Amino acid sequence: MLTRTLALELAPHKINVNSLAPGMVLTPVNQPAIGDPAVLEEQV
């Protein structure tokens, strides 16, 4: 929604807005998801 809102607000100024949304990165922070096959499958 942030990308959409910025794009709509900045369009009159001829400014394009792009977004980059990488998938889940396997780090210790999301270790519970890595250890749970169901959660990992959903994220992948």
pLDDT exceeds cutoff 80 at 14: yes
At 13, the pLDDT band (50, 70, 90 cuts) reads: very high
Question: CA 1 to CA 21: how far, in whole Å?
Answer: 12
Question: CA 41 to CA 44: how far, in whole Å?
Answer: 5
Name the pTM for this structure: 0.47
- Domain span at residue 23 reads 2-43
Number of domains in the chain: 1
pLDDT exceeds cutoff 90 at 2: yes
pLDDT exceeds cutoff 90 at 26: no
Report the percent of the chain where pLDDT is more than 70.
Answer: 100
What is the per-residue pLDDT for 25?
A: 78
